[in-house]
Structure 1
Amino acid sequence: MTDACRIHAPADDHHDTCPTCLAKVRDNLHEIARLIADLPAEAITKGLNSEAMNLLAPATDYEQAGHIEASIAAGRISPDDYDAATAPDLLHPSHVIGCWDSLVRDALEHTEPETWSVTTGIDYLDLQLTYLAGYEHLAFDELAADIRACRIHLEHVLHDGIQRDTGAPCPACSTTLRRTWGTEPALDGWECPACGLESSQAEYEHDVAATHRQRASWLTDEQMEIRVGVKAATVRSWGRRGGPVSRRRHSERTEYAVADVEAAAWRKGLAHLGYFPIQPQTEAEHGMMTP
């Protein structure tokens, strides 16, 4: 990432977007297209009054909505008199993509297509994203936020009643954590529905990694050093051919059998480095045990 970015590190005199943030916007745009393709099946399952069916239907005219918003901003219409129930669904993909398609074409002086659809709008924005990322006369950070919010809404609609954004057990009470979505990626996190414990994404990933290290039967050399206390270089040497530790390739990583490392550490008098409540068994001995 660059030192300044219009999305994650805005600066008054900086109008570029870092490659990582640009890639996220593009991924969100592509994901919207994929999620839209899943809406018909969801609408059949949930019925005519479902949000999935609403998202398949045409959206409120985004140009008319823009006039209303401008009137509110200018004081011609009072926000108190504006019925929120009649407001357009600002997260509808037709509204989000259509609005930004129109804004970008106006800014770049591109002609409007004879026929328009969400798909053609996504394709058009996808072609312009790289240029727009450094174009100072358009609020690329707002485009990114709207595209992300649209994707999240589609995900929630498609997952509602089928699957929830659930995670690992709560470290405090063991209840399954639920995903929480912020107004920007840095504010996403996890919350326990039972005890109310909140975790940031970084805290959640740290807890998951710690739980994995504690319970896994196979770990990398670096993970093994944290769990058992034996240096990673020593673990690697034990895992060489003919050594006392079994190893394997898994997900393009070399992993070592925890039981073998613990047993080797015990035999070599290194048990004080880790926690061994009883004399550990090797992986081979563990496999020969009957339930």
Structure 2
Amino acid sequence: MSSKSVLGRGVEALLSDDPFQEEGDKFFLCDIDKIEPNPNQPRKYFDEEKLEKLADSIRERGVIQPLLVSPGKGNRYILIAGERRLRAARMAGVDEVPVVVMDSGTDNESLELALIENIQRHDLNPIEEATAYARLIDEFDLTQDEVARKVGRKRSTITNVLRLLNLPESIQLDVAQGILSEGHARVLLRIKDDPEKLQEVRNRIVSEKLSVRESEKICRQKKVKKTPRSTPSKPRQSGDELPQTYCKALATQLTNHLNTKVRIIQNGTRGKLEIEYYSSDDLDRLVSMLTG
């Protein structure tokens, strides 16, 4: 089986029926330390909990589906597809894993196989999936129809997922890390040209745990409701603590100004101010605002 014959059909085609008997495929147990990760790996985030579950399965039953590799230098091999299995096997303390050696003609063929294999396994997050589609289109000069056929998806699915790359990088990071769902991201696409409203709606989705439908209602509003920025006058007080209505007004003002949830917690004449952040980028944004 030549490398070109499997391009466009993915690794499932390569490993179907009894592929190890076909001419050109080399199957054997390989020393795990001789396998180097694929530098073109499209997946960037690996769920540690899922890896541990896979490692438990490997401890019990071994690696059932072989990894796809190509020959490297010095009797070593380059991983083309199967990085999750490789990582989990290392976690499980396995010394050898089954591999299929494929004489990949070029780095481009290796990249295309890795992209297709990862997409077909349904374990990329939406942003990684969108990035993989974009790379297939840009680096292999494919149309969306051709990508859809290669990965077994509808063209409309490819189009919708690719649109996620139009979101700001900070929102893409939220989606990649699971802070925002793909459904929420699609809603935010409607207001991507209004950065202030986009960030405010995003913060409300996270802090208030809004559903996709609730998020849609907010995005349809001409303006997100804001409390006037004028500082409320400090009322006279008879006790040690400030009135709750006054503290709530201050917290609302800060929330609108910082575009994140703020709470004032009193303890007699003392208290503390809590400011929430939802990612490292969000923290950097808040620090910049507070320090000027």
TM (normalized to structure 2)? 0.25
Higher RCO (CA < 8 A, seq sep 6+): 2
TM (normalized to structure 1)? 0.25
